[in-house]
Each structure stands twice: as C-alpha cells, then as structure tokens.
Amino acid sequence: MHKFGICSLLGTLTLAGCMTPARMYTNDELTRVGQSCGLALGELAQEEEEPRLLFMIVPNPVATQQVCVRRWARRRSLTLVVLEGLERIPDAPSN
C-alpha cells in the first residue's frame, strides 16, 4: 500500500509539472474575440487572480454569443463564466 501511494504521488506531481499556467489575454485580444462573437467592448474579461476563468459580462446574452465565446475559451483551456441577471445603468448626468 505504501509503495502504491508513493507511485500515485509521483505520477500526480509529474502530470502537474507538465501543465502550463493559463495565459492572460490582452484587452485587445479579448475585444477582437468579443466582437467576432457579437459582443460590445469590455464584455469579456479575465482577472489576474484566476486566469483560467473568462468572464462574459452581458445582460441577457444570446445563446449564439455564449456558444461562440465558450468554443473560443474551451480551445484555450479557459472556463467561461457568464454573469447573468445584469442590468445596464445609463451614464449619470454630469453636474
């Protein structure tokens, strides 16, 4: 049993060493992806604290938009997080 545990641990560490960290995409890259999927500027975001997550910040996104972004994210080993139930707030008037 002890020998099996050591082999399992070594195997896990070997695989973990082969995994590459998630890449941070630039705002320009995310804007191009978003526009190609029908999104507006700033509706796709990535956070440095959790680079494997791709946030889609769109009020009531269309299913085809979600599929397009999810496909792009999956090819890059990112997990798409869709923030739903958002409302756009009009810009406050300047005083």
- Token readout for 95 is 């005083």
Amino acid at 8: S
Whole-prediction pTM: 0.69
User: One digit per residue, pLDDT tens: the chain, 95 residues?
Assistant: 455 445 454 555 454 445 566 789 999 999 999 999 999 999 999 999 999 999 999 888 899 999 999 999 999 999 999 987 666 666 666 66
pLDDT attached to residue 57:
92
| Angstrom distance (rounded) from CA 84 to CA 22 | 24
